[in-house]
Amino acid sequence: MIALVAFGLLLQGFPSAQSGPASEPGDVTAGKALFEGPGIECNRCHGAQGEGGFAPTVAGRSLTLEKFQNGLRRGTVMPMYPTSIITDREAADMLAYLNSLPPVTQRGALRVAVPESAPPGQRAAIGTIGCAQCHGAVFGSPRQALGALGNDADFQWFTRMVYDHTTEMPLLAKSTGQPLRPRFVMGNYNRATVQESSLRQIYDWMRNDLGVRANIVGRMSPGVPGPNGVAYTVTIENAGVQGKGVAAEELTVSIRVPMGVMVTGGTGAGYQGVRRDDQAMTDVAVWQIAQLPAAERQTLTLTVSSAVTPANNLRGTITWARPAVKPGPLDTVAIAPAPAPAAGRSGNQ
């Protein structure tokens, strides 16, 4: 569960902490929202309904607040979450929700299973420490950090990110120019619980067996009405550190167009026009970009016949051929969709 957090999802600040003990019963509805995420993502290890998986069952166990707080704050069986990440009020809410659930008769399955032929580093990441239960089988965001920092992301850096995550993560965000999430998904691991020798195995597997990942970020601006329709600006950025991060090569930018909306124009290097995606049953605007070095960006525009809505939005992805994850498919990142237009602005103006 070592959440090094994908950079395209980072956004500033922390929640305001109510660090004193919760004096009122917890709110079940608020606790359910916290447990299910997307803020903390406890369900990735503890199961969608608290039925367990990599981590123990927590549903219907009638835990006391003291015992629950010890699990959160001491860092002996899971990362240590200070009140800057999970407040005492939030802990009480989450416990109220978990205690409201029926007891579990059968523990849930791992979100990511350990392959039979897994090397030691992969076994540690999936089954011993559980990093892959949050990061996935190909370790997307940790590999992205390696690609962003280059040789600066050595093993000692990796250990700091695990043991002192709440201190190191802001430094990483500052280096890459990406904002922090509202709250950290991951706390700090205890050196006595997670041995450095296990981290060495995971680090070597991640860097050598999987390979680094370019730190690619995509986002879309609100639409701007014009004579040919509504124009959306798409920014594709390599948020790696200049002179250190790895370049992405042979990028493909694909934007799915909602039903009932027509593409009236596109600009930017490598614009290929519109193709029909039979599987998605919609049109897709496509760009091909030969290379995107660290700290550089490309600006593209897509003009469509009418403004889209958050519910019927333009959806985009970016893939690249190199550097590639060695044992699997191309790395893919989602383009952050266009936010709702400002008041008074529409495609009919």
Average pLDDT value over all residues in the chain: 88
CATH code at 216-336: 2.60.40.1530
Peptide bond into 323 cis (omega under 30): yes
pLDDT at 77: 75
Higher pLDDT, 277 or 231: 231
Say whether pLDDT at 231 is over 90.
yes
Delimit the domains of the chain by residue range.
Answer: 1-14+27-213, 216-336
Say whether pLDDT at 19 is over 90.
no
Q: How many CA atoms lie within 13 A of 283 on its CB side?
A: 14
Say whether pLDDT at 239 is over 50.
yes
Using CA atoms, how far apart are residues 169 and 215, in angstroms rounded to an integer?
15
Asked whether the domain spanning 216-336 has the same topology as the one spanning 1-14+27-213, the reply is: no
User: What is the average pLDDT across 28-36?
Assistant: 94
Through-space distance between the first and last CA atoms of the chain, rounded to whole angstroms: 49
- At residue 218 the predicted structure's pLDDT band, cuts being 50, 70 and 90, is very high
pLDDT at 342: 52
What is the total residue count of the chain?
A: 349
User: What is the average pLDDT across 261-276?
Assistant: 95
pLDDT tens, residue by residue, 89-106: 999 999 999 999 999 989
Centroid of chain to Cα 180? 11
pTM: 0.83
Peptide bond into 38 cis (omega under 30): yes
Using CA atoms, how far apart are residues 59 and 52, in angstroms rounded to an integer?
8
Using CA atoms, how far apart are residues 294 and 283, in angstroms rounded to an integer?
31
pLDDT at 10: 34
Say whether pLDDT at 242 is over 80.
yes
pLDDT at 151: 95
pLDDT at 340: 67
User: Beta strands 332-336 and 216-220: pairing type?
Assistant: parallel
pLDDT at 145: 95
CATH code at 1-14+27-213: 1.10.760.10
Angle value at C-alpha 106, between 100 and 111, nearest 5 degrees: 90
